[in-house]
Amino acid sequence: MNYLPLPAVGDTPLRVMTIAGSDSGGGAGIQADLRTFAMLGLHGCVALTAVTVQNSVGVKGFHEVPVDVIADQISAVTSDIGIQAAKTGMLASSEIITTIAKTWRAEGLAAHVPLVVDPVCASMHGDPLLHHSALDALRTELFPLATLVTPNLDEVGLLVGVEVVDQTSQREAARALHALGPGWVLVKGGHMRASAASPDVLFDGTDFYEFAAPRIDTGHDHGAGDTLAAATTCALAHGYSVPEAVEFAKSWVTECIRAAYPLGHGHGPVNALFRLQS
């Protein structure tokens, strides 16, 4: 695969931000985001939204960060360091989502900083990471600010009520999600287990783009969605178009899944550190 260019020694790298929760097991959340940012040569900044209590077998609970602290993290970074792109992950509540949207507008970021919204609703084990009442805030507050939204099939069902079982329903879901206001929609097909490939569909309101990769037979895929969104964010920071960024991220997360390792008694994480072994 073609990697994103690394900065020269001594040069200031491009900066990206993850606005997301922490995974105490290190497999997903900001930990997964920062691994991909670093492996792709970008400086990662953080606005922490929640602290989860989790390991390889599930989420035991989470604690939300006060909304004023979340807003201040975003403002502190963007007013001084500056960022070229950002992503969101676990946002937990409607209050947090509304705060992020207001801060994004107040800091003047909506006009020039690409924003990838990964609408994290539950862990891979089905444990809730978003209060159900926050779905409306995602739809009305954050999606209209998003350059790209990247839901998995479970999240698609929660957000627009479409059950994706094939390419036709996948495109139907993309249309319904795009009507909520984002620039682009990526309906991920990783949970479409009947398919021999992992088909993703990208839609801009007019044209569809399809990305597929051979399905890798592994039980270790914790953090795959975070890693895909993080790699897309990095590519957008480099000035890639959205289709180019998604194509790159798809190849990146495929290699991370291929290199995944066991951890604990449950699902191990995808492995962005494979680049150090290449």
Q: Give the residue among 50, 49, 40, 119 at the shortest CA–CA distance from 84.
A: 40
Residue 48 · residue 72 · CB < 8 Å: no
Residue 113 · residue 86 · CB < 8 Å: yes
- Bridge partner residues of 16 (DSSP): 44, 85
Residue 130 has what pLDDT? 84
Question: What are the phi and psi torsion angles at 42 (to 5°)?
Answer: -110, 150
User: Does 263 have pLDDT greater than 90?
Assistant: yes
Mean per-residue pLDDT over the chain, rounded: 94
| pTM confidence score | 0.96
* Residue range 234-256: mean pLDDT, rounded: 97
DSSP letter at 270 equals P
| Strand locations in the chain (E) | 15-22, 43-55, 58-64, 85-88, 115-117, 148-149, 184-187, 200-203, 208-211
* Residue range 74-101: mean pLDDT, rounded: 97
H or E element at residue 80: helix 67-80
User: Does 145 have pLDDT greater than 70?
Assistant: yes
Cβ-proximal residues to 130 (8 Å cutoff; 6+ apart), any chain: 90, 91, 92, 93, 119, 120, 121, 122, 138
Residue 148 has what pLDDT? 98
Residue 195 has what pLDDT? 64
195-208 pLDDT per residue, tens: 667 789 999 999 99
CA distance 278 to 263: 22
Instruction: Place 192 in a pLDDT band, splitting at 50, 70 and 90.
Output: low
Using alpha carbons only, give the angle 208, 214, 220 rounded to the nearest 5 degrees: 115
Residue 132 has what pLDDT? 82
User: Does 124 have pLDDT greater than 80?
Assistant: no
CA distance 236 to 243: 10
Lowest mean pLDDT among 58-72, 96-110, 191-205: 191-205
The token pair that represents 16 in the structure block:
């990206």
* Residue range 258-274: mean pLDDT, rounded: 96
The token pair that represents 139 in the structure block:
């739809």
Which amino acid appears at position 195 of this protein? S
User: Does 112 have pLDDT greater than 70?
Assistant: yes
